[in-house]
Amino acid sequence: MTTLVTDRLTLRPPQQADAEALVQGLGNLNVSRWTGRVPHPYGHADATDYIARHRSAPPDELMLFITHGGELIGGIGITQGELGYWLAEPHWGRGFGTEAARVVTGHAFTVMACDRLVASYQLGNAASRRILLGLGFQETGEDVAFSRARDAEVPIMRLALTQQCWAEAKERRR
């Protein structure tokens, strides 16, 4: 199973013991409202199902929990070529999202041999927009998607990143 390590973070596979931290992090509407697939309220059954589903993910998918100092602070993954992530609210604004997304994107292009990744953010989510644009993602157009937490269609921006654009953005950051 894949584990990735950065200067401050360890990104590791889900564990059953993570259920309570998931409920705490994703149970916060300030977090779940920015996701597409997370319901609100978010309970223990949701957390248990999420962990079980991702522990048996196919080899072309990646689902990791973001930990800092041993504490679960978020999740990040690639499903069907789409990058998605979340961070618990107490950890916003500290660069953890960028750090995790950078290492996972690099893993996708160098180890998983992805040619292209897609992502999206809900309009109004400036932090997610900054993370994705900083990685080299290019906005491809507005759309709408269903948010389970909001129980409604929400406006989103779709983005894409090719391996070549990722490499060029990586060089600019040096």
Q: What global pTM score does this model have? A: 0.94
pLDDT tens across 113-166, in order? 999 999 999 999 999 999 999 999 999 999 999 999 999 999 999 999 999 999
pLDDT score of 53? 86
CATH number assigned to the domain comprising residue 79? 3.40.630.30
Q: How many domains does the chain have?
A: 1
Q: Give pairs for 18-23: CB < 8 Å, separation 24+.
A: 18/47, 18/51, 18/65, 18/72, 19/44, 19/47, 19/48, 19/51, 20/44, 20/47, 21/71, 21/72, 21/88, 22/46, 22/47, 22/50, 22/51, 22/72, 22/75, 23/47
User: Residue 53 is part of which domain span?
Assistant: 4-173
In this predicted structure, the answer to whether residue 59 has a pLDDT above a threshold of 90 is no
